[in-house]
């Protein structure tokens, strides 16, 4: 019986310490900002002659975290709703991104002149043609990231509902801006 109380105290204190540790690190997650517009332009210089001169569509993200984010995975979908007897049902078409899974995006740093904390996801699929009906369809962009310190993941979602308010001709400015020129 003399060993039971210290054993229970040890188990209880270990449990409390683990709980505090998990609660602390679960609050440390990545913070990603997604552009509210999708820009498009015609490609000019590529190593792939097949795509030269085609429209390229871009969605820009900025890592607002003070740490790098890792293991990114993005997807872009055209979502349409159809109504059945049981209610609305969503169908989606995946839109291929050129590089949907960069390994790492650097931490946010205002002094970074290269803008390594920002990334542009690109597609050569003509979104303007695919998205013909924005009354019954919308675009959904989702990105999953992992915080490099805590290891906790988070998913960020941006829905684009109207084509005229979403698709803008031009290119994103570099760095900490979603401005399109």
Compute the residue count for the chain. 181
137: Cβ contacts below 8 Å, ≥ 6 apart: 78, 79, 80, 81, 131
* Local confidence band at 95 (pLDDT 50, 70, 90 cut-offs): very high
* Local confidence band at 50 (pLDDT 50, 70, 90 cut-offs): low
Answer whether residue 42 shows pLDDT above 90.
Answer: no
Mean pLDDT of the chain: 90
Percent of the residues in the chain that have a pLDDT greater than 90, as a whole number:
65
CB burial string 140-177: b at 16+ within 10 A, e below: bbebbbbbbebeeeeebebebeebeebbbeebbeeeee
CATH class of the domain whose range is 30-169 = mainly beta
Q: Any idea which of 8-12, 30-34, 59-63 has the lowest mean pLDDT?
A: 8-12
For the chain, what are the domain ranges?
30-169
Mean pLDDT of 51-70: 91
pTM: 0.85
pLDDT value for 63:
97
């Amino acid at each position: 019986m003399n060993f039971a109380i210290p054993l229970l105290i040890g188990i209880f204190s270990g449990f409390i310490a683990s709980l505090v540790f998990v609660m602390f690190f679960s609050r440390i997650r990545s913070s990603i900002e997604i552009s509210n517009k999708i820009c498009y332009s015609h490609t000019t210089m590529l190593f792939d002659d097949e795509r030269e001169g085609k429209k390229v569509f871009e969605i820009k993200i900025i890592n607002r975290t003070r740490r790098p984010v890792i293991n990114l995975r993005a997807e872009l979908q055209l979502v349409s709703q159809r109504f059945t007897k049981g209610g609305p049902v969503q169908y989606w078409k995946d839109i291929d991104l050129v590089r949907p899974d960069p390994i790492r995006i650097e931490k946010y740093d205002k002094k970074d002149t290269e803008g390594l904390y920002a990334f542009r996801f690109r597609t050569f699929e003509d979104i303007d043609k695919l998205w013909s009906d924005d009354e019954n369809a919308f675009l959904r962009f989702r990105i999953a990231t992992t915080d490099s310190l805590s290891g906790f993941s988070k998913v960020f979602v941006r829905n684009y509902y109207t084509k005229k308010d979403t698709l803008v001709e031009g290119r994103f400015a570099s760095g900490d801006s979603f401005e399109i020129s």
